[in-house]
Amino acid sequence: MYAVTVTFTIAAGRMPEFLPQMVANAQTSLNNEQGCQLFDVCTDPDLPDTVFLYELYDDRAAFDAHLHSAHFKAFDAAVAEMIAVKQVRCFAEVRS
| Beta partners for residue 85, in sequence order | 9
Domains contained in the chain, number: 1
- Domain containing 41 — which CATH number? 3.30.70.100
Its domain, for residue 67, covers: 2-92
Cα distance from N-terminal residue to C-terminal residue, the chain: 14
Q: Report the predicted TM-score, pTM, of the whole model to 2 decimal places.
A: 0.94
Are 18 and 51 in contact by the 8 Å Cβ rule? The answer is yes
| Nearest-angstrom CA–CA distance, 50 and 47 | 6
pLDDT in tens, the chain (96 residues): 999 999 999 999 999 999 999 999 999 999 999 999 999 999 999 999 999 999 999 999 999 999 999 999 999 999 999 999 999 999 998 988
Helical pair 60-68 and 70-79, crossing angle rounded to 10 deg: 60
